[in-house]
Amino acid sequence: MKRFLSILTCLMLLAIAGCNFNSTSSDTGDIVVASKNFTEQDILGELLAQQIEEHTDLTVTRRPRLGGTFVCHNALVAGQIDAYIEYTGTAFNAILKEKVVHDANLVREKLTQAYAQQFNLEVMPSLGFENNYAIIVRGEDAQRYNLQTISDAVKYTPKWRGGFGYEFLEREDGFPGFAKTYGMEFARPPQIMDLGLIYRALTQKQVDMVAGNSTDGQISRLGLVVLKDDKQYFPHYEAVPIVRKETLQKYPQLRAAINQLTGKITEKEIRQLNNLVEGELQDIKTVVSEFRKSKQL
């Protein structure tokens, strides 16, 4: 009987914990803001949270590093979180399973309509920058082989090793279509890598080509080179807040607070913010607070 009661107690505690996670009012916050599992998302999630807290009377629970695209999207649809920052190309191709479209305005228009109809989510205006896939090599290799475009590198990749994140290897707008478009082959199947490790692996010559993000602060700091997507394979990836419509209806003041971020961040600025956190190891909350002050947000 004691053993049975002990097991029952454990199950009840797990159930309570599950309920707490599923609630958008978990902890003490009125709003739950999440982010994906890389540095830029940590920064953008904190930016969104600070903006809401500064311009409304709402409190925010932060869920940093919640997971990848599908984890965050599913949590949003399920009501486990209220908002996170997504990239239009990612949502269009990975979530809606649409084919790659290179017209940024068309992607945003279709995405807005589909998210409203299918998921009851609102795609809010862009923060002002795009975070595109970037095919990256070491600077010394780019110089040695005179590499400027992805096509330039294709003749060398049969002797190279590739290192890519799981999403890039699996997504429709990722490696399968990319390799086919460029006719690219490697010495062996590309290695699946955590996004936080790809640059270390590249600089330590464990791999020779990686797929990073165009806004990564480490690119210039480590002397790496982004190869031009000369066949225009990758779509546009504008950074946009995605928010539950139910949450916007419940808290009308939320819309104005978030809209103040529209067009406020350039690609150069987000790259600098990424470098402050990753390269200089500065505190994310402080970095975001200083940025908001500089933009009078």
User: Which CATH architecture best describes the domain 133-226?
Assistant: 3-Layer(aba) Sandwich (3.40)
Q: Is the pLDDT of residue 95 over 60?
A: yes
The contacts of residue 249 (CB under 8 Å, 6+ apart) are: none
- Asked whether 297 and 55 are in contact (CB, 8 A), the reply is no
Q: Is the pLDDT of residue 9 over 70?
A: no
* 3-state class (DSSP) for residue 280: coil
Residue 151's pLDDT is: 98
Q: Quick check: do 31-130+236-295 and 133-226 share a fold?
A: yes
pLDDT tens digit sequence for 194-220: 877 899 999 999 999 999 989 998 898
Closest by Cα among 100, 265, 278 to 200: 278
> How far is the C-alpha of 79 from the C-alpha of 21, rounded, in Å?
10
pLDDT band at 27 (very low <50, low <70, confident <90, very high): low
- Asked whether 122 and 243 are in contact (CB, 8 A), the reply is yes
* 3-state class (DSSP) for residue 143: helix
The pTM assigned to this predicted structure is 0.78
pLDDT tens digit sequence for 37-49: 989 999 999 999 9
Residue 18's pLDDT is: 42
Residue 26's pLDDT is: 42
Residue 254's pLDDT is: 97
> How far is the C-alpha of 217 from the C-alpha of 203, rounded, in Å?
15
Asked which of 10-14, 89-93, 148-152, 288-292 is least confident by mean pLDDT, the reply is 10-14
Q: Is the pLDDT of residue 132 over 60?
A: yes
Q: Is the pLDDT of residue 4 over 70?
A: no
Q: Tokens in use for 68?
A: 């990848």
Taking residues 55-74, what's their average pLDDT?
Answer: 97
Taking residues 248-274, what's their average pLDDT?
Answer: 96
Concatenated DSSP letters for 226-256?
A: EEB-TT--S---BEEEEEEHHHHHH-THHHH
* 3-state class (DSSP) for residue 36: strand
Q: Is the pLDDT of residue 16 over 50?
A: no
- Phi, then psi, of 32 in degrees rounded to 5: -110, 115
Place domain 31-130+236-295 in its CATH homologous superfamily. Answer: Periplasmic binding protein-like II (3.40.190.10)
Residue 247's pLDDT is: 98
> How far is the C-alpha of 114 from the C-alpha of 135, rounded, in Å?
30
- Asked whether 230 and 154 are in contact (CB, 8 A), the reply is no
Q: Tokens in use for 188?
A: 């062996």
Domain spans, the chain: 31-130+236-295, 133-226
Closest by Cα among 234, 238, 180, 183 to 211: 234
- Which residue type does 61 have? T
- Asked whether 124 and 241 are in contact (CB, 8 A), the reply is yes
